[in-house]
Amino acid sequence: MSGRVRACALLSSALAGCAASAEGGFESLGTAPTIVEPSAPAPDTRPQVVFYPRIGSMTDDPWGSLGPGVVLMNAGLAPKSAFTWIHDTVDKPRIAGDVVALCTRGGDVYSDALLQAAPFNSVQTVLVPPESTADEVALVAARLETAHVVFLGDGAAGEFAAWSSGPLGAAVRGVYDRGGVVAGAGAGAAALGATLRTGDATSAAALANPFDARLALAPGPFALPLLAGTSVETQLQSSDRFGLLAAITARAIAGGTAAAAGALPMGIGLEGGAALAFDRLGSVTLLDDDGASGSAWLVRGDAVDRVAAGQPLVWKGAGVTRFDAPGESLTFYLGCGTAFAYGVAIDGAAATPFTPADPYDAMGASSPCAP
């Protein structure tokens, strides 16, 4: 048989065999075993730092900022007037300021809104999840070296507390030290205080025991001089957090830590569409938008009558300053302003712990500064 004929015969036999196997005449061959290389790295599925696209100018604003300043916003991106104030503090007459918005969760939801709110030079949002590595955090800190404004988005207060004593906390403080503006909304605003609440205590629990285990506190991660000795609560009236704010402030007064740092302890509460702006001259002003009203409160005082573990809070001389309308202000070093001041007596053991009974809307008087 010739070689070509023999090859054809062999091919014919092979094809017949495949056909027979397909019809069940023969056992089919098994699939090849899967081989796993044990040295291959597992895919990295943890959340990572994300630098979203920078919008506006791609060239850094070469001029400095005329601050410093701090803005505390109750929630979200309201009021828009807050961003006008931020821009004007950087440099009012021109397109000015490179803004970096930092958030611990979510996506690129800040950049477009901030660039539309005021004539900033540029805006970039950076996601910094709690699982970020030290190398990733260092990259974010380096990004802030040319920023004029840092905006902290809403999230979870404890996630910002983790930035304390690290490069990111120092980088935000660096923006402030260069005359920039540091702003925050919701948990981002709370994180700017000298003391940050990380527990979930209620006002009732805090008044009954200012050292309740659920009233967990942590140092603020940024140590901003304009907010030395402060703690910040958002949704103060709607979530009935006046008792919380009073208990935290009383603890600070009794502990003397703020006094040691050269500041008087002060609680700051925000509600609705309100924002409080603290300028470099020592004044605080309520910022608001038409149709999105809001209020703010300051809680201060000298001696606390009783603040002890396991015992109800007693503070007969708590002082409250309330901001009701846009533009109302208080100048700390002069002790005067258009905001309303009144006293509140607190007895955590009483059925009605506050006198007057409503600490949010009590009657007060303003002391306008001399022209």
Could you give the C-alpha distances from 179 to 84, 108, 134, 174, 324, in angstroms and in order?
A: 17, 26, 27, 9, 29
Residue 3: inside a domain: no
Pick the range with the lowest mean pLDDT from 1-15, 37-51, 144-158, 291-305: 1-15
8 pLDDT higher than 50? no
Compute how many other C-beta atoms are within 10 angstroms of the C-beta atom of residue 292. Answer: 14
Residues 6 or more apart in contact with residue 227 via CB below 8 angstroms: 70, 192, 193, 194, 220, 278
260 pLDDT higher than 90? no
5 pLDDT higher than 50? no
For residue 231, with 0-12 CB atoms within 10 Å meaning exposed, 13-18 middle and 19 or more buried, which class applies? Answer: buried
Dihedral (CA of 332, 334, 337, 343) sign: positive
Q: How confident is the model at residue 292 (pLDDT cuts 50, 70, 90)?
A: low
Residue 58: inside a domain: yes
- pLDDT tens per residue across span 202-258: 999 999 999 999 999 999 999 999 999 999 999 999 999 999 999 999 999 998 655
Owner of token pair 């009605």: 352
Rounded Cα distance between 9 and 356, Å, is 108
* pLDDT score of 34: 46
Alpha-helical (H) ranges within the chain are: 3-22, 81-91, 111-117, 134-143, 157-161, 167-177, 187-190, 203-208, 242-255, 257-260
Residue 328: inside a domain: no
Single out the residue of 338, 339, 348, 345 nearest to residue 359, CA to CA. Answer: 345
Residue 256: domain span: 50-297
Count of domains for the chain = 1
Rounded Cα distance between 195 and 174, Å, is 19
Residues 6 or more apart in contact with residue 196 via CB below 8 angstroms: 157, 160, 161, 190, 217, 218, 219, 220, 221, 231
19 pLDDT higher than 50? no
* pLDDT score of 302: 84
Residue 310: inside a domain: no
132 pLDDT higher than 80? yes
54 pLDDT higher than 80? yes
Mean pLDDT over residues 141-151, rounded? 98
Mean pLDDT over residues 34-51, rounded? 65
Q: How confident is the model at residue 306 (pLDDT cuts 50, 70, 90)?
A: very high
Residues 186-225, buried b or exposed e (16+ Cβ, 10 A)? bbbbbbbbbbbbbbebbbebbbbbbebeebebbebbbbbb
Single out the residue of 226, 231, 225 nearest to residue 191, CA to CA. Answer: 231
Residue 83: inside a domain: yes
Say which CATH number the domain at 141 has.
3.40.50.880
Q: How confident is the model at residue 17 (pLDDT cuts 50, 70, 90)?
A: very low
For the chain, how big is the Rg over CA atoms in Å? Answer: 30
Query: What are the residues facing 344 on neighbouring strands?
Result: 318
Dihedral (CA of 6, 10, 11, 13) sign: positive
Single out the residue of 189, 188, 194, 334 nearest to residue 264, CA to CA. Answer: 194
Pick the range with the lowest mean pLDDT from 41-55, 174-188, 191-205, 308-322: 41-55
Residue 317: inside a domain: no
Pick the range with the lowest mean pLDDT from 26-35, 253-262, 273-282: 26-35
* pLDDT score of 225: 95
Q: How confident is the model at residue 94 (pLDDT cuts 50, 70, 90)?
A: very high
70 pLDDT higher than 50? yes
355 pLDDT higher than 70? yes
280 pLDDT higher than 80? yes
Higher pLDDT, 290 or 157: 157
Rounded Cα distance between 277 and 294, Å, is 14
List the structure tokens of 184.
């925050």
Say what the alpha-carbon torsion angle 51, 72, 86, 154 is, to the nearest 10 degrees.
Answer: 20
Looking at residue 264, its amino acid is: L
Residue 31: inside a domain: no
112 pLDDT higher than 70? yes
Residue 329: inside a domain: no
